[in-house]
């Protein structure tokens, strides 16, 4: 019960951030969008976007696994924010950097794909479908 409440609060917080990012992106406020992503990443992981993006996928997952136990909350938040950062980069024709974010997002969200986070977020399937499409993993 407590875990479900915690997960719902985390998802609600992420929805609030995503709505704010959507509004900023619609206005073309890319710098503010990057700042919000960076602030939210720092609050949730202790690392800036720049630091996170120095890790490869495996190293990032290891960092988010203190004592060998994966922190699903940080994995979820980081994956969602990296996907959003990738979207911003693509909008600015920085496709290589955007693809790098999508790969990390896919790896992180893959770790939470079959957990209660995915079950409580109906959009998770569409998030994965979008990432698979962006990464060319959909068989086309």
Asked whether residue 30 carries a pLDDT value surpassing 80, the answer given is yes
CB atoms inside a 10 Å sphere around CB 44:
19
Half-sphere exposure (Cβ direction) of 111: Cα atoms closer than 13 Å = 24
Least confident of 34-38, 116-120, 125-129: 116-120
Q: Give the start-to-end residue ranges of the domains of the chain.
A: 2-134
Task: Give pLDDT, residue 76.
Answer: 87
pLDDT, tens digit (0-9, with 9 covering 90-100), for 36-54: 999 999 999 999 999 999 9
pLDDT band at 7 (very low <50, low <70, confident <90, very high): low
**Which positions ≥6 away from 120 have C-beta within 8 Å?**
4, 7, 8, 11
- The band of 32, judged by pLDDT with boundaries at 50, 70 and 90, is very high
pLDDT in tens, 57-95: 999 999 999 888 888 888 988 999 999 999 999 999 999
Summarize the chain as % helix, strand, coil (round to 5).
80, 0, 20
């Amino acid at each position: 019960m407590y875990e479900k409440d915690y997960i719902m609060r985390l998802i609600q917080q992420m929805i609030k951030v995503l709505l704010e990012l959507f509004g900023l992106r619609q206005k073309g406020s890319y710098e503010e969008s990057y700042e919000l992503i960076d602030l939210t990443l720092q609050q949730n992981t202790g690392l800036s976007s720049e630091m996170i993006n120095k890790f490869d996928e495996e190293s990032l997952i290891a960092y988010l696994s203190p004592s060998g136990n994966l922190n699903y909350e940080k994995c979820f938040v980081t994956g969602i924010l990296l996907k959003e950062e990738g979207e911003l980069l693509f909008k600015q024709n920085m496709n290589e950097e955007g693809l790098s974010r999508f790969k990390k997002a896919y790896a992180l969200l893959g770790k939470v794909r079959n957990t209660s986070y995915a079950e409580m977020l109906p959009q998770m399937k569409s998030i994965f479908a979008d990432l698979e499409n962006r990464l060319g993993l959909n068989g086309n």
